[in-house]
Chains A and B, each alone.
Chain A
Amino acid sequence: LSATPEIPKEDGRPKWDNKFQYILSCIGFAVGLGNVWRFPYLCQIHGGGAFLIPYFIALLFEGIPLLHLELALGQCLRKGSIGAWNTISPYLGGVGVGSWVVSVLVSLYYNTVLTWVMWYFINSFQEPLPWSVCPLNENRTGFNEECYESTSVNYFWYRKTLNITPDITESGTLQWWLILCSATCWAVVYLCTIRGIETTGKAIYVTAIFPYLVLTIFLIQGLTLPGATDGLIYLFTPNLNALKNPRVWLDAATQIFFSLSLAFGGLIAFSSYNPSKNDCEKDAVTVAIVNSMTSLYASIPVFSVLGFKATTAYWDCLDRNIISVINEFDLPEESIMRQNYTSWISFLNSSYPEKIAGLKLKSCDLQEFLDQSVSGTGLAFIVFTQAIILMPGSQAWAILFFIMLFSLGLSSMFGNIEGVFTPLLELRIISKSAPKELLSGVICLLSFLMALCFTLGSGSYWIDIFDRYAATVPLLVIAFFEVIGVVYIYKIKRFSKDVKWMTGRKLNLYWQITWKFISPLLLLIVFMAFVTLQMQKPPSYTAWNPKYEGFPMKEEKVYPPWVQAICVLLAALPCVCVPLVALFHLVKRKCRNKGPSFVLPEVFSCQGANS
């Protein structure tokens, strides 16, 4: 090898302004809404602090190796997901196509979640907050019935925001306010991704760092709220018995996998803009650890606020009982306080048991309120908004909270859009002279039009479907093929040489073992377990139906067959790309018959990519 100086070849490929932008983009992509509303929930239901054990094991054996693999791949091949996999082997091109399809599907529904966040954000500027009061009914004699039976927060979410239909088969109408917000959100995404990483690189400074600021503010505020310590103790008290349930391990593995946003193609796209001689090993470890630390850091304010909410609900329960007792027995005000409530009740029960029984007092138990666990949109839009009403200065807290959620989601959207944008640029769908702004505009416009179906009355049911089927099983399949493709088709010896050329260090034994055996095995086990669990019961959903007898409880319903077919389609479409493309190339080669023999990917290597 000649001793030429390391002048990077000018191939006209855009590049990051500095390394920090790249790391921030990866962190922003990985850190998303799931870190705030899924990880604390999993911690809570799976034995508190004990959940961290399977979580860190999964991180070590599944998360970090797969992340390193993707980053190294993108950096070495300097192409988006479709181009990269085509380069490794044309038969593996389907893996890239599969990731591209998943990125498209996820972008569509993820931005609708951001639409909801934006709607709540623009409604947070009023006094009082619109979700804190029930509207009056028509003749002004009382409150709106639906609102009165459930809570004002539930009413604002289900009626005023989603205008949800009682069944997924009833589509309802397009909600014009959601269309406006959706258009705005896609305009924001277009503004930030208009020139690819040139613009997202600048936007990421704000969207990746701002959530940490807000989380810190909420942390400080949350810790000062009454009842915060109860919530935190409840969250972090380890219950090692929970680890005996295999469901806990499965949830830990899937959480790590989905939290790091692997197999979307976005990480490959990001690292493809790097200079070739970059330490991707350190980057991977950094990003994975920061993602997990953020999850932990976010669960502290979340649980302080949940503890505060449970304590307030408990106090309200007690106060209502106290008022009933005082009114019934005509005792002076403030004679029964929360502290002496139990002694008073036992005294009164012994003297006047029939009167006490007649009052129908609710039993107030703090544990019961703490046990009410929610994850996902329920946590953000119902539980948290309710807690925010109780804080002094609620408008400011609401505004901060929703801007934080918006930034978290937006930085993840950048990764999704890059996963869609970069392969399209490389496939040369449009001529080179057409500006990048046009392509990103067309992508955003088409996505906005397709996402209009999520603004229907039944939209949120569809988003649940997309979330459960399009963004879970296909990713596991694609990641499995990624690892197998690199380790056994590209051959790990060559890949280790490439990585050594990029990082300057020999590949550690840890990477070799995890890439060759542990990660594929883990992925296979997780995939099997996941599919088995899904198959165990017919897929069902809970619907918000005001005419249901058990209202305000949600009604359990089963998906009709045509919806189930769509679920299967969503899960199968990206996966089926892998064998389809391989088959296509096989048939093409057979047709040519006397064409060039199977081009072993030996001609190509990382160092060769730059010459």
Chain B
Amino acid sequence: MLRALLLTLSVVAIAHAELCKPDAQNAFKVRISIKTALGDNAYAWDANEEYLFKAMVAFAMRRYSSKSTTQISNVLLCNVTDRVSFWFVVTDSSKNVTTVPGSEVEAAIRMNRNRINSAFLLSDKTLQFLKITSTLSPPVEPSTPVWLIVFGVVLCLIVAGIVFLVVSGIQKHKKKNKESTERENLEEKVEVTLENGIPCEALDLKAGRINGVFAADDERFTSL
């Protein structure tokens, strides 16, 4: 009984070794860069992490095919290096010693890439499935481009400045014109009656105007 058990176990082990090898059919290489992603908070890659990985792949397969037949034991890991990198395959439990076609695995991983990444606190770049390309997320584009808004603000400020300067220039111009016409009016009003070139206002002397030519009248008579 024990021998039969040992025999089946060794057969299974060999079969597994056959299924999971580098460049085997339907096998994928995974490369993980924990230190690059997390720096000082990096965790070590050990058997527990491997168990989580197997669980995530099984979860992805279950979600994709919606039949709960994939078990954690169906996911085989091999050739784990210090890098950290390894190969994995997913075996089919219904059919003996065969692997799930690569296209199905790829589609399942693709669908759940986000969940797998978050389980390990990594991203598409630091948890690489070497043959599975990731779809790129489009850059976020706001409805109005930001530069139009800034442009609008700048233009409004400039136009406001120009309008202010032009209006103040026109006002100054008008004031200057008004001042010059006022001065002209003032000079017109001052055109009052003149007598011998002297305005009459200056002549309001009760005593009359002394004509300098005849001022020497006093001296007509010689002094004694």
Using an 8 Å CB-CB cutoff, how does the interface string of A120-143 with B read, 1 for contact, 0 for none? 001101100000010110001111
In the complex, which residues 272-316 of chain A have their Cβ closer than 8 Å to any Cβ of chain B? Answer: none
Partner of B82, one of A125, A184, A187, A332: A332
The CA of A485 and the CA of B84, in the complex, are separated in Å by 81
Interchain CB contact under 8 A, B146 and A184: no
The CA of A317 and the CA of B69, in the complex, are separated in Å by 47
The CA of A188 and the CA of B135, in the complex, are separated in Å by 45
Q: How far is the CB of A320 from chain B (nearest CB, A)?
A: 13
| Chain B residues with a Cβ closer than 8 Å to the other chain, count | 30
B36 interfacial by beta-carbon distance below 8 Å:
yes
Q: How far is the CB of A390 from chain B (nearest CB, A)?
A: 18
A327 interfacial by beta-carbon distance below 8 Å:
yes
B83 interfacial by beta-carbon distance below 8 Å:
yes
Interchain CB contact under 8 A, A133 and B139: yes
Specify the main secondary structure of chain B where it touches its partner: helix
Q: List the A residue with the shortest CB-CB distance to B138.
A: A136
B158 interfacial by beta-carbon distance below 8 Å:
yes
Interchain CB contact under 8 A, A191 and B165: yes
Q: How far is the CB of A534 from chain B (nearest CB, A)?
A: 39
Chain A residues whose CB sits within 8 angstroms of the CB of B35 once the complex forms: 333-334
Q: Contacts A140-B136, A187-B159, A327-B31; is A123 near B83 (CB within 8 Å)?
A: no
Using an 8 Å CB-CB cutoff, how does the interface string of B166-188 with A read, 1 for contact, 0 for none? 10011001000000000000000
Interchain CB contact under 8 A, B138 and A184: no
A437 interfacial by beta-carbon distance below 8 Å:
yes
Chain A residues whose CB sits within 8 angstroms of the CB of B173 once the complex forms: 435
In the complex, which residues 168-193 of chain A have their Cβ closer than 8 Å to any Cβ of chain B? Answer: 180-181, 184, 187-188, 190-191
Chain B residues whose CB sits within 8 angstroms of the CB of A331 once the complex forms: 82-83
How many pairs of residues, A versus B, come closer than 8 Å at their CB atoms? Answer: 75
B34 interfacial by beta-carbon distance below 8 Å:
yes
Q: How far is the CB of A187 from chain B (nearest CB, A)?
A: 5
B14 interfacial by beta-carbon distance below 8 Å:
no
In the complex, which residues 310-369 of chain A have their Cβ closer than 8 Å to any Cβ of chain B? Answer: 326-327, 330-334
B123 interfacial by beta-carbon distance below 8 Å:
no
Q: Contacts A187-B158, A194-B165, A435-B173; is A330 near B147 (CB within 8 Å)?
A: no
Q: How far is the CB of B78 from chain A (nearest CB, A)?
A: 13
Stretch of B51-59, B89-97, B104-112, B148-156 at the chain-chain interface: B148-156
The CA of A199 and the CA of B165, in the complex, are separated in Å by 9
Interchain CB contact under 8 A, B166 and A437: yes
Chain A residues whose CB sits within 8 angstroms of the CB of B147 once the complex forms: 119, 122-123, 125-126
The CA of A199 and the CA of B150, in the complex, are separated in Å by 25
Interchain CB contact under 8 A, A333 and B161: no
Count chain B CB atoms within 10 A of each CB in A133, A333, A334 and give the residue with the most: A333
Chain B residues whose CB sits within 8 angstroms of the CB of A334 once the complex forms: 35
Interchain CB contact under 8 A, B162 and A194: yes
Q: List the A residue with the shortest CB-CB distance to B37.
A: A333
Q: How far is the CB of B143 from chain A (nearest CB, A)?
A: 14
Q: List the A residue with the shortest CB-CB distance to B133.
A: A141
Interchain CB contact under 8 A, A184 and B155: yes
Chain B residues whose CB sits within 8 angstroms of the CB of A326 once the complex forms: 83
A497 interfacial by beta-carbon distance below 8 Å:
no
B66 interfacial by beta-carbon distance below 8 Å:
no
Chain A residues whose CB sits within 8 angstroms of the CB of B170 once the complex forms: 435
Interchain CB contact under 8 A, B162 and A190: yes
Chain A residues whose CB sits within 8 angstroms of the CB of B150 once the complex forms: 122, 125
Chain A residues whose CB sits within 8 angstroms of the CB of B71 once the complex forms: none
- Can you list 24 residue pairs at the A/B interface with Cβ under 8 Å? A118-B154, A122-B151, A123-B146, A125-B147, A126-B146, A133-B139, A140-B135, A141-B135, A142-B136, A143-B136, A180-B151, A188-B158, A191-B158, A191-B161, A191-B162, A330-B81, A330-B82, A330-B83, A331-B83, A332-B84, A333-B33, A333-B84, A334-B35, A437-B166
Excluding A187-B159, A332-B83, 15 further A-B contacts by CB distance (< 8 Å) are A119-B147, A122-B151, A123-B147, A125-B150, A133-B139, A136-B139, A140-B138, A141-B135, A184-B154, A184-B158, A187-B158, A194-B169, A327-B85, A331-B82, A333-B35
